[in-house]
Structure 1
Amino acid sequence: MARILPAFIVFFLLCSFSATSVSAGEEQGFGRPLDRKKHKLKKEKLSHFNFFFHDIQSGRNPTAVQIVPPPSNTSKTFFGFVNMFDNPLTLGPELSSKTVGKAQGFYGSASQEEFALLMVMNFAFIEGKYNGSTLSILGRNPGATSRVREFPVIGGSGLFRFARGYALATTHELNMKTGDAIIEYNLYVFHY
């Protein structure tokens, strides 16, 4: 019995030390401060972007299509419908003007009392130094009932890592018959 007790104590101490070292290692690996320079994060800057979003629902080649119809025809807000889009972004309001990227995402009617859309989209740029970079938007869109709509910029990729800011959307043109719309976007973005 005298030999078993010291062996048990040694075993207990070894188990305690190994559990402590695993816990300490997990804490260090989960979160730690990083060097900005090592991750190529220079001084943060504020940029302004201006372009036009073409939401085309009509014709032979629509860029926005309904993927979920509203569950009933009795809703005056079309509550529950969802459209997916891959819309061109251009420098001017004409579709023929220079393309600078694509807006890709979806919007759906998210209110039962008033018309309001939930917008989820990425602006994927193809022009200049921003080629391959994206900005992400997520927010509420009261539609044409508000002259200017504001959305948060919640992030991005490429040159827009750690991006944050806001986007202002103004309807340039809306065809009530076809649903086609041209929306001007002004984005104000902090990024590195």
Structure 2
Amino acid sequence: MLSLVLLYLTIFAYSEAQQGQIKETKMTVYFQDFSGGPKATVIEITGQPDGLLSFTKFGAMFCTDDPVTEGFDENSAQIARAQGLYVTSALDGSNTHVLISIVFTNDEYKGSTLEIQGSSAQFERVREVAVVSGTGKFRFARGYATFETIYYDHTLHYAVIQCNVTVLHY
């Protein structure tokens, strides 16, 4: 039994040494979110007969594939895609459960991901959720992300959501 414990400790110490020092990365990115029209990047999975999205209906489920840009403007450089699910998880419609992968496409982080999960109080100006993991350059990431809708055009069903991310990773 003692030999198994020593083997485990040796493997663990070797793995830690291979990972290197923990780094902190902070970034601000912008989700370009279209909830309707020909450029829709968010659709309701549960489907409404009239085609209108019901973000406050308990149990409503949405799939998203938003372009993520380095700047506020829709035409700024795209650096990632925000792909995943939102589920309205509060009976009164006040919270959504967020499961999002930020999948990086830019040269610096290409192929790396940040995995975001948690309850998001959708009527709050700033919503905070956990970064629970990552891959590639963000391997073993942990931290948090805040979301703030900084622009919304009701007629175009278009929103710009600022995402501030702070993560620790190897």
**TM-score, structure 1 length as denominator?**
0.75
Q: Tell me which of 22, 39, 43 is aligned to 1:61.
A: 39
Deviation at 1:59, TM superposition (A): 1.9
- The answer for unaligned runs of 5 or more in structure 1 is 1-22
The amino acid across from 1:110 in the alignment is S
Q: Tell me which of 158, 162, 184 is aligned to 2:136.
A: 158
CA distance, structure 1, for counterparts of residue 55 and residue 16 of structure 2? 54
1:170 and 2:168 matched = no
Query: Is residue 113–residue 135 contact of structure 2 (8 Å, CA) maintained in 1?
Result: yes
**1:37-186 matches, cutoff 5 A:** 40-69=18-47, 77-143=56-122, 145-177=123-155, 179-186=157-164
Bigger strand fraction: 2
Identity of aligned residues (%): 30
- 1:65-113, CA deviations, whole angstroms, 9 ceiling, x for partnerless residues? 111147xxxx993111111011100011111100000000010211112
The amino acid across from 1:171 in the alignment is T
SS class of match (2:94) = coil
Question: Over aligned residues, Cα RMSD in angstroms?
Answer: 2.8
Aligned match of 2:51: none
Query: Is residue 57–residue 93 contact of structure 2 (8 Å, CA) maintained in 1?
Result: no
- 1:16-63, CA deviations, whole angstroms, 9 ceiling, x for partnerless residues? xxxxxxx99999999974244687301001110111011112221311
CA distance, structure 2, for counterparts of residue 76 and residue 63 of structure 1? 15
Query: Is residue 58–residue 93 contact of structure 2 (8 Å, CA) maintained in 1?
Result: no
Once structures 1 and 2 are overlaid, which stretch shifts more, 26-35 or 61-70? 26-35
Deviation at 1:141, TM superposition (A): 1.3
The structure having more radius of gyration, on CA atoms, is 1
Structure with the bigger RCO (C-alpha within 8 Å, sep 6+) is 2
**TM-score, structure 2 length as denominator?**
0.84
> CA separation of 1:24/1:43 partners in 2, compared to 1, >3 Å: closer, same or farther?
closer
CA distance, structure 2, for counterparts of residue 27 and residue 37 of structure 1? 15
CA distance, structure 2, for counterparts of residue 88 and residue 169 of structure 1? 15
Deviation at 1:180, TM superposition (A): 2.6
Q: How many residues align?
A: 165
The amino acid across from 1:82 in the alignment is M
- The answer for unaligned runs of 5 or more in structure 2 is 49-53
